[in-house]
Amino acid sequence: MPLIAPPLSLYVHMPWCVKKCPYCDFNSHGVRGAPPYAQYVDTLLADLDADLRDFGSALQDRPIISVFFGGGTPSLFTPELIGRFLDGARSRLRFIDHCEVTLETNPGTVEHGRFDGYLAAGVNRISFGIQSFDDAKLKRLGRIHSSQEAEAAVKSAQDAGLGNINLDLMYALPEQALPGALDDVDRAVALRPTHISHYQLTLEPNTVFAAHPPPLPDDDAAWAMQEACETRLAAAGYTQYEVSAYAQPDRRCEHNLNYWRFGDYLGIGAGAHGKISDAASGEIWRRWKTRHPNAYLEAAGQPARIGGHSAVPVDELPFEYMLNALRLIHGVPLDDFAARTGVPMACIASPLEASRQKGWLENDPHCLRTTPLGQRFLNDVIGGFLA
């Protein structure tokens, strides 16, 4: 089957935050002085223009299905600046009707009344980095907000008319026990967000926590937290549709779904990554931008803005696809593999059968889906598709 161009999203990276959290390995930089926010938005649009020229026909007539402002802390940017970028992007690209536009938000950086402005600018989904409702745990994580500020920020966004809200929560925090993890879930549910992202704290390389590890719950305790919290979320009406994502009916995150279904996305901003499929050539391209904000600003849409650009080797495509698709609880159509990679099904017949024999994948001729056992050993399942 030839490669078929999948849906296209737009990721926009905002690299500054008030201060770097000790667990964070994202491309984020603590604010020093007054960052050039307005100049950065102009540079984003120049970056977008250059990518549109570079990818040319591979993007022709392909609408944007979702936009995601990630960071860093995008809510450090005023609604006016967010609106300036969205207006510029809409003048260059066609957005689908009711396009999902998400803004990541730190509860400690939101000014009262600003949510009205974000909504007017075109943002229709807010993602709050809550992490915990335990003030002691928040301090240990280096967060700048309190649990009270988190609750007030969520309610402020709801009062402003933003009806699609995600809360990020972590579990297996330093010295956390099961009751604490469940209390975080209960307090999140009480706010009635439409979506909850619930994921385990892990020690990532090149972070403060990796260099000075805090005392974390062991694997068995972390698994017990995950299972108990899953049950509590399900009882509250949140359906798990991905390893760490739970949503009310019809409120799944379309942007992240496009990632997990091996869709395409333009990556704009310092350190942003993108993936573009060229149906004509049959190639899938990865592109990432230079990481440091100053270097990115200096490049201002010129070739120096590109940190790297390469085609994904054909023998790596099965692993890349499975790394995303197998995270989805209900799986993906089996035919999507060939359509979105251009790789024949015969190339994965052996690892597919091996995973089914081990009870890791459902024996379904039409759907690629992990079993509950496969979800428990997901890294092993995905590893079976390495070149």
- What is the pLDDT averaged over residues 375-380? 93
**Tell me: the pLDDT tens digits for 32-69?**
888 999 999 999 999 999 999 999 999 999 999 999 99
- Per the listing, tokens 């009262």 go with 112
Question: Please, what is the angle between helix 219-235 and helix 178-190, to 10°?
Answer: 30
Helices then strands, each counted (H, E), the chain: 15, 16
- Judging by beta carbons within 10 Å of its beta carbon (0-12, 13-18, 19+), is residue 233 exposed, middle or buried? buried
Q: Which one-letter amino acid corresponds to residue 193? A: P
Residue with tokens 């972590």: 170
pLDDT per residue over 194-251, tens digit each? 999 999 999 999 999 989 999 999 999 999 999 999 999 999 999 999 999 999 999 9
Half-sphere exposure of 37 (CA within 13 A, CB side): 19
The first and second tokens of residue 91, run together, are 């003048």
| Residue in the structure block whose two tokens are 């120096």 | 304
For residue 265, give the DSSP letter.
E
Average pLDDT, the chain: 96
Task: List Cβ neighbours of 89 (8 Å cut-off, separation of 6 or more).
Answer: 10, 45, 48, 64, 67, 95
Which tokens belong to 128? 């709050």
What percent of the chain has pLDDT above 90?
A: 93
> Six-digit token pair at 172?
């297996």
Among 264, 251, 248, residue whose Cα is nearest residue 324 = 264
How is residue 365 annotated by DSSP? S
198, exposed or middle or buried, with CB in 10 Å at 0-12, 13-18, 19+? buried
What's CA 127's distance to the chain center, in Å? 10
CA–CA gap between residue 187 and residue 181 (Å, rounded): 10
DSSP 8-state symbol, 243: T
- Among candidates 363, 379, 245, which has minimal Cα distance to 323? 379
Asked if 40 and 303 count as a contact pair (C-beta separation under 8 A), the reply is no
> Pick from 66, 76, 68: which is nearest to 15 by CA?
76
For the stretch 125-161, pLDDT in tens is 999 999 999 999 999 999 999 999 999 999 999 999 9
Question: Average pLDDT in the 354-378 region?
Answer: 95
Res 66: pLDDT: 98
Encode pLDDT of 67-105 as tens digits.
999 999 999 999 999 999 999 999 999 999 999 999 999
Specify the pTM: 0.96
Whether the CB-CB separation of 101 and 86 falls below 8 Å is answered with yes
Query: How far is the C-alpha of 156 from the C-alpha of 276, rounded, in Å?
Result: 37
**How many CB atoms are located within 10 Å of the residue 181 CB?**
27
Distance CA(67)–CA(103), nearest Å, equals 9
DSSP assignment string, 89-138: HHHHSPEEEEEEEEEEE-GGGPPTTHHHHHHHHT--EEEEEEE-S-HHHH
Full set of structural domains in the chain with CATH: 8-258 (3.20.20.70), 315-383 (1.10.10.10)
The percent of residues in the chain predicted with pLDDT above 70, rounded, is 99
The Cα 277–Cα 281 span in angstroms is 9
Task: Give the CA diameter of the chain.
Answer: 58
SS3 content of the chain, % helix, strand, coil (to 5): 40, 25, 35
DSSP-derived 3-state class of residue 330: coil
112 confidence band (pLDDT: 50, 70, 90) = low
* Residue appearing with tokens 């993906």: 332
CA-angle at 337, arms to 333 and 342, nearest 5°: 145
